[in-house]
Amino acid sequence: MRLRRQNPLATFLIAGILVQPVAVCAQIAREAVDLEVVSQIREEGLERSQVESMARHLTEVIGPRLTGSPGMKQANDWTVQMFAEFGLENAVVESWGEFGRGWTNEGYAGRILTPFQQPLHGQPRAWTGSTDGMVRGQAVVAPIQNMEDVARYRGQLANAFILQDNLAEVTPEFEHRDRRTSLESLLTPPPPPGAGRGRRGGGRGRGGANPIQEARAAFVEMAMAEGAAAFLRNSNRGNGVVTGGGAGSRQAGAPEGLPHIALSREQYNQIYRNVTNGVPVEIEMMVENRFYEDDLDQYNSLAEIPGTDKADEFVMLGAHLDSWHMGTGATDNAAGSVIMMEAMRILKAIGVQPRRTIRIALWSGEEQGLIGSNRYLDNHPELHDKISAYVNVDNGTGRLRGIWNQSNAGATPVFEQILWPFRDLGVVAVKHGNTGGTDHLAFDRRGIPGFNFIQDPIEYGVNTHHTELDTFDHLVIEDLQQAAVVVAATVYALAMRDEMMPRKSGPISDS
Ligand SMILES: [Zn+2]
């Protein structure tokens, strides 16, 4: 660790330049941004970065980190070991309570036998079962809408490979897509409230059972009773990319169920069209999946740099460490995890002494519904009034271009000024509005200021999000380095403010 004396003359007051007008009743406070520390952060993060080696270890040595799997546990242990090596305090793997059983795929082989032989490019979906060795059977297309449909397939499902997803279009890819976000779009105000941002929350509640669901459940039971081989599932993208998350039950002791094998869209469609046109498709397949029920709890990785005169207040930074299993969880979300780890390493390496405690949290269970972050806050009600702000990264490998204020107008001038020294690195926008889909929502829902950075998309939506292509080669290392520097400076500045981050006024919305 290198300690450097800070030059007090290098502390400048930066007047914020607002990108868009916001309604703030109080006068806008000026942020004291320590440009000497900013310059040390940039030097440490851009010239002595450890982002690449950490990202490679997480993705290519530990590999996929499905919550509950041995990979997740290894990642928890390794990150806390790294925290200790950085010299952080209170580095712990902390249980957040019961999650359910773990799962890994240990083997898969599949091929089409008729009307011609071809290897089947597929991967099992998480928490689904195994075949009884190598099994051979016919593909059956079985759309189920009601109990009459179920009756139609009775007695026909022994060794069947069942297709229930729709035929999905594969469209030609002619159009150029922007991998970086244009300045114009970053500086364009988002659509007015109610136009709907955020992937999770709102309208996704489970109602009572409906007739279609009941018929489909009856069909699954019949398929198991008759000894069907597997469900074949379509991928949600073309170009040969296999995609998908979970399908089976995480509940300990529940039946393992039939395998669900996600196939490339092109092969799924080919099988579907042959069967529906009367051309028999015979398939041979072996699936070996394994469930883990020895420890049903799950864990977050935590560590901190203790504060000084405001040590009982916290600025938190985090990302989810868990991933889906088909790739190695590189852009979702080794990227965010490594950015946060590197931000802590940088701050420790330059020897800052923040006023508030800066605490890193790497969550698990995010992919199953932001569970690790929500349980952490449930387990620590004493922290709710003490957390000044939480910042999160979870939108792929792209560099940071700004941050959403999560409809907290008071946060805008704070971020505008803190982020101002990073305009040359492409950080330009503090957007008024909400973004969803990740762990900052756990904080926001409890009235704690929680924020998610805006990132360049690179190829997140096109190729890597929840696909088998989510691997190390798709990381943009320079972008991760930029992000770590920006995060380090952001949390440091928040930890040094006289006041906590302004909180939203009015009722808390489930954004
Ligand atoms: Zn994610």
28 Cβ contact partners less than 8 Å away, ≥ 6 residues apart:
16, 413
Residues 38-53 pLDDT 10s? 999 999 999 999 999 9
Q: Same domain, yes or no, for 253 and 178?
A: yes
Q: Same domain, yes or no, for 238 and 326?
A: no
User: From the CB of residue 310, how many other CB atoms can be counted at a distance below 10 Å?
Assistant: 19
Ligand 1 centroid from CA 63, angstroms: 15
Ligand 1 centroid from CA 503, angstroms: 25
* CATH number for position 125: 3.50.30.30
- 54: confidence class by pLDDT, cuts 50, 70, 90: very high
Ligand 1 centroid from CA 375, angstroms: 17
Residue 199 lies in a domain: no
Taking 70 as the threshold, does the pLDDT of residue 501 lie above it? yes
What residues pair up with 453 in beta bridges, in sequence order? 403
Residues 320-344 pLDDT 10s? 999 999 999 999 999 999 999 999 9
Q: Same domain, yes or no, for 92 and 112?
A: no
Taking 60 as the threshold, does the pLDDT of residue 21 lie above it? no
User: What's residue 190's pLDDT?
Assistant: 77
Q: Same domain, yes or no, for 146 and 84?
A: no
Of 280, 261, 290, 326, nearest to 110 (Cα)?
261
* CATH number for position 37: 3.40.630.10
User: What's residue 364's pLDDT?
Assistant: 98
Ligand 1 centroid from CA 334, angstroms: 9
Residues 146-167 pLDDT 10s? 999 999 999 999 999 999 999 9
Residue 509 lies in a domain: no
Ligand 1 centroid from CA 353, angstroms: 31
Q: Same domain, yes or no, for 146 and 87?
A: no
- Structural domain for 459, as ranges: 8-99+296-496
Residue 438 is given by DSSP the state S
Ligand 1 centroid from CA 330, angstroms: 10
Distance CA 484, CA 45 (A): 7
Distance CA 201, CA 437 (A): 8
Ligand 1 centroid from CA 141, angstroms: 33
Ligand 1 centroid from CA 332, angstroms: 4
Domain ends where: 292, 308, 327? 292
Domain ends where: 274, 292, 310? 292
Q: Same domain, yes or no, for 107 and 92?
A: no
Q: Same domain, yes or no, for 129 and 166?
A: yes
Instruction: Look at 208 and 133; give whichever has higher pLDDT.
Output: 133
Residues 71-100 pLDDT 10s? 999 999 999 999 999 999 999 999 999 999
Q: What is the CA radius of gyration of the chain?
A: 25
Residues having C-beta closer than 5 Å to ion ligand 1: 332-333, 394
Ligand 1 centroid from CA 118, angstroms: 34
Residue 279 lies in a domain: yes
Q: Same domain, yes or no, for 30 and 73?
A: yes
- The chain-wide mean pLDDT, for the chain, equals 91
Q: Same domain, yes or no, for 342 and 369?
A: yes
Please count the structural domains in the chain: 2
Ligand 1 centroid from CA 355, angstroms: 31
